[in-house]
Structure 1
Amino acid sequence: MINNELEPLERLHALGITLPPARKPIANFSAAKLCGDLLYISGQGPVTAEGHRFTGKVGGDVSVEEAYDHAKLTGVNLLAAANAALGSLSAIREVVKILGFVNAVPDFKEHPQVINGCSDLMISVFGELKGTHARSAIGVASLPNQITVEVEMIVRVAHDVAIKMASET
């Protein structure tokens, strides 16, 4: 069990995870957008720090277990985007919502088990109270670059951080 007193970045390190640099958006949009005290983080995919993309159809050439790991990696990339936008993961007060897309074969039924990779990571990093969130997990016919999963996230930010960021824009 991870100590509840640890900061989010320390929890990541305790899990053996190093936060990579935030990835640049692949099209004309912002990686994150603050609205009030909510930070909307654009969809991220399973891309390693070295740029390797995990691709394929879940339930076909990609197993549920592999896709779970891809969703976890996607969660790491969401945290990297949040860290870049906020300057620190400690500014996150809670994970509000996760929306996960699974690039799956038509008869696939285990979308929630795949997106659990991301959800489980958020609970490990922020604890049960702050990490548990509302969520949807859906299957799609394709995703950009044929990645296996894409996940977007909404987090609530510390009020003082939100005020400071709003005054800087």
Structure 2
Amino acid sequence: MTPEQRLVELGIQLPTPPAPIANFLPWRRVGQLLYLSGQGPRDANGKISVGRLGRDCSVERGYADARSVGLQLLATIRAAVGSLDHVEAVVKLLGMVNAEPDFGDQPKVINGCSDILVEILGERGKHARSAVGMGSLPNGMTVEVEAIIQIAEGH
């Protein structure tokens, strides 16, 4: 089953990719590599999910926010190359968590993004990853994730 078929099977509608909030591109392609700028969680109206893990946000909420970012990353890939079926591999994720200094569950939070990528892309979605805590993130968002994607030859 292709990634696009998997989305249909699961009844998942990808969100509209968010527009950059500053002077940068949402993605940049170099050869077969697609570099995705960092994205934070947004609801259907574009409102950013804010909060700090270990203070006013649970791991479960962070996981859900990271999952929503994964869906946004998939939407950005589709916008860049036309179809998720052109993804050869998710090469690397950098997941950043807005967290208190003593918070240590960054990997559990970023699993939300990793899990949805593997759910939709299968083996192609498995990736190298860093999950780190940050003292703050833009606009107070809970998580931010950037990615490097390999696109299949000829696409």
Instruction: Confirm or deny a common fold (TM above 0.5).
Output: yes
Matched letter for residue 144 of structure 1? P
Identity of counterpart residues, as a percentage? 51
Deviations 1:120-157 (A, max 9, x none): 01110111x21110000000011111000000011100
**What is the count of residue pairs matched by the alignment?**
155
Distance 1:13 1:58, change over 3 A: farther
Deviations 1:6-53 (A, max 9, x none): x21332233342111111111111101111100001001101231121
10-19 or 143-152, which deviates more: 10-19
1:53-92 to 2 correspondences below 5 Å: 53-92=48-87
Task: List runs of 5+ in structure 2 lacking aligned partners.
Answer: none
In structure 1, the residue matched to 2:41 is: 46
Deviations 1:49-75 (A, max 9, x none): 311211000111000011000000000
In structure 2, the residue matched to 1:108 is: 103
**CA distance in structure 2 between the partners assigned to 1:145 and 1:12 by the alignment:** 30
1:2-151 to 2 correspondences below 5 Å: 5=1, 7-127=2-122, 129-151=123-145
76-85 or 111-120, which deviates more: 76-85
Deviation at 1:88, TM superposition (A): 1.1
Name the SS of the counterpart of 2:92 in structure 1.
strand
Q: Which runs of 4+ in 1 moved over 4 A?
A: none
- Structure with higher Rg: it is 1
Matched letter for residue 129 of structure 2? R
Name the SS of the counterpart of 1:24 in structure 2.
coil
Tell me the TM-score normalised to structure 1 length. Answer: 0.88
